[in-house]
Structures are given as structure tokens and as C-alpha cells.
Chains A and B, each alone.
Chain A
Amino acid sequence: MTTPLLQATDLTKRYADTTVVDHLSFAIAPGECLGVIGPNGAGKTTTIRMCLGLTAPDTGGIAYFPGADGTALQMPRDARAIKARLGVVSQFDTLDPDFSCAENLLVYGRYFGLGRAAMQPRVPQLLDFAALAHKADARPGALSGGMKRRLSLARALVNDPALLLLDEPTTGLDPQARHLMWERLQTLLQQGKSILLTTHFMDEAERLCDRLLVLDHGRKIAEGVPRALIAEHLEPDVVEVYGNGALRLAGDAALTALAARTEVSGETVFFYTQDARALLGALAAHPQQRTLHRPANLEDLFLKLTGRQIREDA
């Protein structure tokens, strides 16, 4: 791996007797998109907050942008210098409701020391990028959820950052808005920017991320390239069976013998197998059940690693 843009080492954060982040280390290489996934309460947002210097880790450190001479900027000591080169989209929009879209960008640029002369040519480009050129004079209150998120993304780009930290950038968006956001993030990656992304959407993680970090209870439980992680932890084929009486099939030895693993969740039985053909043949004897045959995906991996139980603190 080349010299990383961000190197987090042995981060731990405790609140009272709860350990929210537990000896977590990770790095982001230039041009890479690193996805952080995990159930609610896994420590994703706390990790981002530590990366932003908003929460101080109890142990460990975060180094940014190492130079050729081996020195690096340290969070929180060098917070200002680091943030001058970061772009951040937080989980909740913090747009200025009293300013138009264009004014939001102009005002935000000033926080980076970018005056009117520097921002004047940039604002139309950024609005264009966010597909908001026609909304330049509209206030955030008049925008849809997707437009607001894109304006937040455009705002995070005012300083042309090398590294973007995005905390659930597509939560709450409809599929169209989500796809447009993904397209824009792909464009940024093609431009050579690096992204740290937290998400609850497994298709988002699989589509955008070069590498994934799976967190649970503050610990890193898996790390790697999405497809490789799936291949490492799961059988390639999944057959889902649901419908009236489907649950009885989970105890049918003739079927379970044809699967490497069998899981029940709600009203659905999941058969995980190296080759589904024999299983599908056997299931033909149960035509009243509905079956779905598909390749194993990231969601299967996520549920295998973190369990199917609802998190009560969610």
C-alpha cells in the first residue's frame, strides 16, 4: 500500500463504562474509497468524529497527509491545517436556511479563507456538479432531501479537498436521488479524490468502495475488498424460501443436507450452498413455496458477521 492519506492507529473511545470504539486501526490510500459499515451503535459516527477532532480518543492517534520527510499532521493538534484539506458531509444537513444555495457555498468558502474573487467562478461549477444550477437562488427549505444532500456535498468541495469524509450521505433519500449521489461520488473518485464513507446501504458499499471495514461493538470484525470478503466468509449461492409453511423446510433433513448452512429469519429460510442446482431440484417438490436463487451479497455477509438481531439501542 502506498503512503496513506489518513492513518488511524489503535483508536479507543469510552463513555462511562461503555467502550464505543475499541482498538480500531485503519488507513485510507490516495484515490481509495473506504467504506465503514456496521449496525447502529457500532461506533461509525464516533470514529468519524474522532477523525474530525470533534471527539478526543482515549488511546491512539490519527495522522493525516504525511510528507516525504516522514512528518504528518496529527488530529486534534493540527485540526485547522487538516480541515483546510478535508471535505465533510455530516449525517445531518447543516445548511444555512437563510441563504440561497449559491450564498451557502459563498459563505462556506469564507471559512476556508476563500474570498469572493476565489469563489465567484467556483460557485456555478459546484452548483452544476450538484445538479442544482437551476436552484442557485433557492433557499435550502425549498429543496428536496436529495438536493439538500447534494448541496452539502458541493459545500464540502469548496476547498477542493483531497479527502472526503461522508457520514451516511444517502440515508433518507429515494432511489433516484441515491443513484444521482452515487454517480457524483464515482465522478469524484475518478478525479482522484479519496473518500471515507459510512453507510447502511450494502449496495452502496459494494458499488462505491474499494475496501470495506466492518465494525461491530466498536471493533473491526472484517476488512477487505467487498467481493473478496464475500468469497472468504460465504458460500457463493443463496436460495431463499418463503411463503406459507416455509419454516418447516428448515428442519427437512433432505434439504439441509444439500446446503452448507441454513438460517431462518422471520418467515424466510436461507440456504447457503456451493452449488444450488441439487437444492433447487429438491425444492421443486414444494411448489407451494416461493423460492429466490441469487448470488451471495454483501448484505448476507453483513448479517452473518453482525447477526440478525435488531439492535435495541438503535
Chain B
Amino acid sequence: MRDHDAAGIWHPPQLSARWWPVFLRNFLVWRKLALPSLIGNIAEPLIWLVAFGYGMGALVGKVMVQGEQVPYILFLASGSVCMSAMQAASFEALYSAFSRMNVQRTWDGIMNAPVGLDDIVLAEMLWASFKALFTASAILCVMMALQISLSPKLAVAWLVLAATGITFSCIALIFNALAKGYDFFTYYFTLFMTPMMFLSGVFFPLEQLPRVVQAVAHWLPLTNAVALVRPLFMDRWPDAPLQHLAVLAGYALGAFWIALALTRRRFRA
């Protein structure tokens, strides 16, 4: 372990295999409440899907995606599963991680053992990503049961959803590091997540937006996740996949680094 004070809060991550017992700890707690939490996690997105997909779908009819007409229910399903991954990751990395960090002081206890703060932040990031993937998987299963899509490329979509979970976990951990209390997260949800839901092509094509807004929307992480997942639902390969993946990876790496630095600053006092 290098002298971490000489390098300030921005030094490279000091990680070890000790992130695993921290991840496992979260898993063991979750296992006790997995079933009720699963129902809570997937019920709401499915209600949205049924209400909007079938209800609005009848009014909207078909939507153009990559030069192909697709039923609105498929358009919405492919977007909303990304949104669910985003929300599951964000909830876990904000409310739950904050409870462990600040309320229960679980992190303080762990740091008295030979586990570094960087290991804990990595474990929390991977844990929130795991929960996002778990939620998205359950929703994908229901969508397949409803025969919204049976494309074999959903296996690739599943990997993209894992990446989506990682990206939003990393972003949320920045706000976790800055939070004074739970109230702070309301701002994150209303000022960041809600606008992104409507600007990322989940409910309607981006082309409906004014050009200036579109230019911004193209760089939102959720937009790039949806752009990858939607064609896979249609059994097609996405256009410019590397560009979209690069945007997600850029957000994830940048956000993780910032989250680490701000968490170190929080614990340094």
C-alpha cells in the first residue's frame, strides 16, 4: 500500500481481493429478503409496461427504429428494461449504500479489518450492479414470457444491461459520497434521473425532441444503453455499437474515479 496521503484523494485505486467478503456480506443480507424485494423491483416496471405498452401502443401503433417499423410495446419494453437497470443500480448505490456507510456504520466496522476503503467502494459498486442485473434479468424473463421479444440476441442485451448497471452504480456512488442525508437523493432523482428517463428514448424516439435537446441527449448514458439494447430486442445488431459502449465505459470509469476520490475525502476528516 502506497502512502495515500502524499498523493491526495485522486491517487489510483488501491484494490485487493478483500472486496469479495464485502460483496458477499451484502449478498447474504439481501438473500434474507430477496423474494419480497424482487416483487417490489419488477412489479412497478411491469405495470408501466402493461399500461403504456398496451394502452398507448394501441394509439401509437408502430415506431421506426434503425429503418424498421416495430410495435410500440417492443419499443417501450427495450427502453424500460434499461431504465429499470438504471433505477435498481441507483437505489442500491444511494439509499442502501448510504445506510451502510452513514447510518449503520458498517463501513467503519469493515475498515477496522484489513479491508481498505477502495475495496469497500468497489464492492458496493459491483453489488449495486449485481442487483441491477438481477432486476433486469427478472424483467427480461417476464418480457420473454409475454413474447415481446424472443431474439437470441437478448443474451447480448443481458450483457449490455450489466454494463448499464455498472455505469449507473458508479455515477450514484458520487452522490452517495456527497450526501449529508437521504433528502439529498431526492434531488438526484428529480433533477437527474427523471429528465434522463424522458430524454433517452425510452418512451418515444429521440427524433421527436428539438435538435438542441437531441444533441445533449445523445451523450446521456441511458440513451446509449437504450441504443444498444433496442436493436437486440429486434434481433438486429445495433448501429455504432463501439461508440455507445465507449460512452458507457467512459461514464463508468470517470464516475468511479470521482466517487472513490470523494468517498476518500469524506472519510479523511
**Could you tell me which A residues sit within 8 Å of B by CB distance?**
52, 54-56, 76-81, 83-84, 86, 88, 90, 92, 94-99, 103, 107-108, 110-113, 155-156, 159
Q: Which residue of B is nearest A103, CB measured? A: B28
Q: B116 touching A80 by the CB < 8 A rule?
A: yes
| Residue positions of B touching A, CB distance < 8 A | 1-5, 16, 18, 21-22, 24-25, 28-29, 32, 104-106, 108-116, 267-269
A83 x B25 contact (CB < 8 A): no
Tell me the interface secondary structure of chain A in the complex.
loop
Identify which of B3, B25, B114, B116 contacts A107 (C-beta below 8 A): B25
CB distance from B96 to the nearest CB of A (A): 11
Nearest residue (CB) in A for B29 is A98
Q: Are the CB atoms of B104 and A96 closer together than 8 Å?
A: yes
Contacts of A108 in B (CB 8 A): 109, 113
Given A54-B267, A112-B114, A98 contacting B32 (CB threshold 8 A): yes
Q: List 30 A-B contacts (CB under 8 A).
A: A52-B111, A52-B112, A55-B268, A56-B268, A76-B1, A76-B3, A76-B5, A77-B1, A77-B3, A79-B114, A80-B1, A80-B18, A80-B115, A83-B112, A83-B114, A84-B114, A88-B112, A90-B109, A94-B105, A96-B109, A97-B104, A98-B32, A108-B109, A108-B113, A110-B21, A111-B114, A111-B115, A112-B113, A113-B114, A155-B109
Task: List residues of chain A with CB within 8 A of the CB of B28.
Answer: 99, 103, 107
Q: Are A110 and B24 in contact (CB under 8 A)?
A: yes
A94 lies within 8 A of B113 (CB): no
On whether the beta carbons of A96 and B112 are closer than 8 Å, the reply is: no
Given A90-B108, A110-B21, A111-B21, is A96 in contact with B29 using a C-beta cutoff of 8 Å? Answer: yes
A58 CB to nearest chain B CB (Å): 10
Contacts of A78 in B (CB 8 A): 1
Q: In the complex, what residues of A have CB within 8 A of residue B108's CB?
A: 90, 92, 94
Q: When chains A and B are docked, how far (Å) is the Cα of A251 from the Cα of B255?
A: 70
Residues of A within 8 A of B109 (CB): 90, 94-96, 108, 155
Q: Are B21 and A83 in contact (CB under 8 A)?
A: no
Chain A residue with Cβ nearest B24: A110
Minimum-distance CB pairs A-B, first 4: A94-B109, A111-B113, A110-B21, A88-B112
Quote the shortest CB–CB distance from A237 to chain B (angstroms): 44
Pairwise interchain contact B5-A80, C-beta atoms closer than 8 A: no
Residues of chain B lying within 8 A (CB to CB) of residue A107: 21, 24-25, 28
Determine the chain B residues whose CB is within 8 A of the CB of A92 once the complex forms.
105, 108
A96-B25, A107-B25 known; A90-B1 Cβ under 8 A:
no
Q: Are B106 and A111 in touch, CB under 8 angstroms?
A: no
Given A79-B116, A83-B113, A156-B112, 4 more contacts at CB 8 Å? Answer: A96-B25, A107-B21, A107-B24, A159-B113
Chain A residue nearest to B18 in the complex (CB): A111
Q: Within 8 Å CB of A88, what residues of B?
A: 112
**A285–chain B nearest beta-carbon distance, Å:** 58
On whether the beta carbons of A56 and B5 are closer than 8 Å, the reply is yes
Would you give the shortest CB distance from A173 to chain B, in whole angstroms? 19
CB A104 to nearest CB in B, in angstroms, measures 9
Contacts of B111 in A (CB 8 A): 52, 54
Q: Is the CB of A79 within 8 A of B1?
A: yes
A76 to B268 CA separation, bound complex (whole angstroms): 12
Q: Which residue of A lies closest to B28 (CB)?
A: A107
CB of A90 within 8 A of CB of B29, answer no
CA distance A81 to B114 in the complex (A): 7
Of all chain A residues, the one with the shortest Cβ separation from B21 is: A110
CA distance A9 to B108 in the complex (A): 25
Q: Are B2 and A77 in contact, with the CB atoms below 8 A? A: yes
Closest to A88 in B: B112
Q: Using Cβ atoms and an 8 Å threshold, which residues of chain B touch A83? A: 112-114
Taking CB as reference atom, which chain B residue is nearest A92?
B105
Complex Cα–Cα for A94 and B25 (A): 14
Complex contacts, A159 vs chain B, CB 8 Å: 113
Across-interface contacts of A55 in B (CB, < 8 A): 268-269
Cα distance A98–B109 in the bound complex, in angstroms: 14
